[in-house]
Amino acid sequence: YLENWERRTLMYTWASLIALKKDQDVFKSDNFDMLTNYATKRIRLSSPDLSVVILGNFDVIEGSIDPDFYFTGTWYDYWTGDSIEVTNVNSSIQLEAGEFRLYTSKKLKTPDFVGIGENNSTGAVSDFTLFPNPADHYFQLVMHLKRETTLKAVIYDLQGKPVKELFNGRLSGGLKKLTFNISGFQQGLYFVAIRSEGQQKVKKLMVN
């Protein structure tokens, strides 16, 4: 089950949400409201220590929603750790089909999706590094192969959707450096997954 990236992403997403609910008292608060009449939905929760705004697009097309933030100022995206400066609490936010966001009034620890199997020493790939990281227009995938092998490298977005197949072919053993152009990528957090001989390794890549 965990060898499938989409399934593993789903499992870690739910695990992160469950941990967040257990750790933060705001999710036990009676001070909340919901907007659920439309395809774009919103949940707001507030406590003395933390306020949360959750936005989701359950439509099959892009949509916008009024976030109705509790106050202006700095809010944080729970999944990426990025901050946004809110000057108008009702300024619409665009969401892709199926996209959801969780904003908090203070910065929380960003969840880590890639803990299991990332450093597994078996298989043809000992380990790999992404450089530079964060990256702007390009990055290198640097790895050591124990032997000749067939390797596939794919970059995924935060929702676990494949964005681009970087490489799919045969490589000889030894130190390898593969360079990829990402100049057209939007800023944000991505995941680079390499698969060889039935095993997968994943690392985070931040695009500036």
- Give me the pLDDT at residue 106, please: 95
Are 177 and 155 within 8 A, CB to CB? no
The 10s digit of each residue's pLDDT in 109-161 is 876 554 333 444 456 787 788 989 899 899 999 888 888 888 999 998 887 78
Domains of the chain: 25-104 (2.60.40.1180), 125-207 (2.60.40.2550)
Q: Which of 113, 107, 117, 98 is nearest to 14 (CA)?
A: 113
Mean pLDDT value across the chain: 85
Separation between Cα atoms, residue 164 and residue 185, nearest integer Å: 10
Tell whether pTM > 0.95. Answer: no
The token pair that represents 108 in the structure block: 């929380």
